[in-house]
Amino acid sequence: MARRRLGPPLYRRPVSRTPLQDAIDAGLLANAFTACGASLGAAPRDGVCLMKPIGPDEPKASAATRPSRRAFLATGAAMAAVAGARDASAANHTLVWDIAAGPQYVDPVLGTSAQANVMVLQNVYERLVWYDGPKMEPVPWLATGWEVKDNGQRYVFKLRKGIKFQDGTNFDAQAVKFSFDRAVLLDDPTGIGSFFPTGTAEPGIFKGAWAFSKSFGAGKDYSQAAVDAYLAAGAVKVVDAETVEFNLAQPYGAFLSDIATFMGSIVSPSYVIAHWKKPSDPQRGFVPGVTAGQRDDWMLANASGTGPYTLSIFDKATANVVLKANPQYWGGPAGNVKPALQSVIVRTTLDQATRLLDIKSGSVDIADIATASVFDVVDKAKWLDQKKLEPLTPGVSVPGPFPWLTIYFAKMNLKIKNPDGSLAAFQPFQDIRVRKAFASAVNDADIRRNVFNGFAEAIPWGLTPAQFGYDPSIKKAYSFDLKAAKEMLEAAGSDLGFSAAKPRDMVLITNAAAPWQGYIATQVASNINQLNVGLKLDVKALSFTEYVNSWRAQLTSFSIHSTFSLTADPNSWLSMFGTAAGFWARTSSYDNPKAGALFKEQFQSIDPKQRARLISEMMQLVNDDVAWVWLGAATAYGQPTFNPNVLRSTVKGFYYNPTYQGFYFPALSKA
């Protein structure tokens, strides 16, 4: 598809954006599995249903991938063990985890930010770089080190020797190339693993990925010529068995952070190829093991990595999982990763009351407790008044709270539209005085205590303390001050045509399935209305679909949201809040070219100090424009994406890293 140049290469967007691009930009994908089925009322959620269901609409299993009768019976017996996991949890070598939503699939290319999906990926697969315990700096893992060359456009990794995949084959540079090329060539429209190397705008991240991708970039077809053209670009090159080279389309400061996530998982080429069939369509391009633009049914439910655990059972019908310790595991970079837990049973238990009973009784070791029910296990008064997480039940451990990768915010639309797409006559938020006044009418301290139960921290900008570039010295252009709000609205009203004698109506929308939004919107409306300045605010609760459609189409003036990041790198949030093409900025018509220029500069910077400085400059610039109201950054017991996990006190070794989703099981043991 031909594309018209819309600006500098970094900001040139596809003419037609996919739902996944918008969702990743917005941080919505994290909530997709909940929005698609479970209740939205238990915790703050904004998600949109983007995940393609693995069910009747998926291709049927072939004879090669359909389990044999013996395998079926073995699986049935094993899943009976899952059902009886209460007894198994008594054993010190077995851990049982009650979780509200199990995995959808276990292919790292299709990996979502759903806790259960990534939990499997981060224990079965490994990456070239990862995180050492709670530290936030990526360190060599499957690699021994790397060099950055050509001003950040070329990364050369040296690989460890003697590591084997769980199918017995060798880990080497060819496996690294296969894994990353596979992510590009699958080009799954719902796959974050495919999205990462392509990027959000031309020229993309990996060389040749943007030109190949139909889902996210400029690709036209999945022909063999298209596949060969991508491979010829040389995005991933094997130098020798122990050296691999990445060639990027542009310098990218977040590259290491990205490949430290599940998106950088290395799969066994032999394992994938053994269960793959050459496409029958002569027009469909491929490399052995990968059919361009086509999901791999086998890898949706099977895995072979180098990690400390193997995927023993994944029952897609029940979403139950059994992981077994890998007896051939290489031990990690320091040789000290030695799983004490021989089995991990992850059991999908939909009923919240059952999960509470299980953790209180000790019949499971970990339970996934809904955020709204955290005070069923924690003393509420001691938390709110003393900031102490004291369990109500003996034998239950509630670690934390911890910084997370979720923020809450309100956005003000600078170009409100009519249903026909034309601009509305009344545009209050084009005046910065109105934006400042609304921001000053938000009692964020009250919201953090009474909406998020104290499980949120004040933030100066749209980053959390867990992220690179977080700068507490950034200044907000407002504070909760109704007197100042009244003065600014009275001054703006004389220019915009509203006053106490000549009022204008405004509607604040909320998601009816998320009562937390209703609380905040009602607070803002009440505070503005009592000022008697000529703005009459009403709150309208919409269905989830109506709510999303309304703010996406810019039909509303003021809306409330949460967003979640997959990594501790701030790049995606800087884009979506600070650039005209970014998701939240685009749906609010916020555009500051200076902020956009700073974003591009930090995006391409590979000097951490320089990049941090540029991020701070950009954040302050956007803050001064007051397009957003920062409500707070969630902690691990107040964030909307994953329910907090409560442990039995017999579970030892837990540490927290905000980039983890679920647990790194080799760190855990049972007393």
Q: List strand residue ranges (DSSP E) for 278-327, in order.
A: 286-287, 290-291, 309-315, 320-325
CATH number of the domain to which 368 belongs: 3.40.190.10
467 falls within a domain: yes
Quick one: average pLDDT of 265-289? 97
Lowest mean pLDDT among 141-150, 247-256, 544-553, 566-575: 566-575
In terms of average pLDDT, the best of 82-96, 278-292, 399-413 is 278-292
pLDDT reading at 16 higher than 50: no
More confident residue, 62 or 533: 533
Lowest mean pLDDT among 65-79, 283-297, 437-451, 575-589: 65-79
**Which of residues 260, 277, 306 is at a domain's end?**
306
102 falls within a domain: no
Task: Identify whether residues 411 and 396 lie together within a single domain.
Answer: no
Task: Identify whether residues 571 and 445 lie together within a single domain.
Answer: yes
More confident residue, 40 or 260: 260
Kindly report the number of other CB atoms within 10 A of residue 66's CB atom.
Answer: 11
Quick one: average pLDDT of 574-593? 94
Task: Identify whether residues 396 and 417 lie together within a single domain.
Answer: no
What pTM did the predictor assign? 0.82
User: Which residue's structure tokens are 């009440």?
Assistant: 526
Model pLDDT, residue 374: 84
Task: Please report which helix (H) or strand (E) contains residue 628, including its range.
Answer: strand 628-635
- Report pLDDT digits (tens) over 62-81: 333 334 434 434 444 444 55
Which residues, listed in sequence order, are joined to residue 238 by a DSSP beta bridge?
A: 244
More confident residue, 67 or 514: 514
User: Which residue's structure tokens are 């001691």?
Assistant: 382
Task: Identify whether residues 490 and 603 lie together within a single domain.
Answer: yes
81 falls within a domain: no
CB contact at 8 A, 561 and 462:
no
Task: Identify whether residues 193 and 337 lie together within a single domain.
Answer: no
User: Between vectors from CA 17 to CA 178 and to CA 293, what angle results, nearest 5°?
Assistant: 30
Task: Identify whether residues 281 and 293 lie together within a single domain.
Answer: yes
Task: Identify whether residues 480 and 564 lie together within a single domain.
Answer: yes
117 falls within a domain: no
Model pLDDT, residue 73: 40
pLDDT band at 82 (very low <50, low <70, confident <90, very high): low
pLDDT reading at 329 higher than 90: yes
58 falls within a domain: no
368 falls within a domain: yes
Quick one: average pLDDT of 17-23? 43
Domain with 351 in it: 320-401+641-670
pLDDT reading at 408 higher than 70: yes
Model pLDDT, residue 333: 95
Model pLDDT, residue 413: 97
17 falls within a domain: no
359 falls within a domain: yes
Quick one: average pLDDT of 483-505? 97
Task: Identify whether residues 623 and 645 lie together within a single domain.
Answer: no
Task: Identify whether residues 132 and 203 lie together within a single domain.
Answer: yes
- Report pLDDT digits (tens) over 431-473: 999 999 999 999 999 999 999 888 899 999 999 998 999 999 9
What are φ and ψ of residue 598, in 5° steps?
A: -65, -35
Task: Identify whether residues 561 and 645 lie together within a single domain.
Answer: no
Number of compact structural domains in the chain? 3
CATH number of the domain to which 618 belongs: 3.10.105.10
Calculate the CA 558 to chain-centre distance. 24
Model pLDDT, residue 637: 64
Task: Identify whether residues 625 and 652 lie together within a single domain.
Answer: no
CATH number of the domain to which 284 belongs: 3.90.76.10
CB contact at 8 A, 305 and 164:
no
**Which of residues 257, 279, 306 is at a domain's end?**
306
Task: Identify whether residues 200 and 213 lie together within a single domain.
Answer: yes
pLDDT band at 52 (very low <50, low <70, confident <90, very high): very low
Q: Mean pLDDT score of the chain, rounded to an integer?
A: 86
Q: Residue 281 burial by CB count (10 A; 0-12/13-18/19+): exposed, middle or buried? A: exposed
CB contact at 8 A, 215 and 207:
no
Task: Please report which helix (H) or strand (E) contains residue 155, including its range.
Answer: strand 154-159
What are φ and ψ of residue 221, in 5° steps?
A: -160, 175
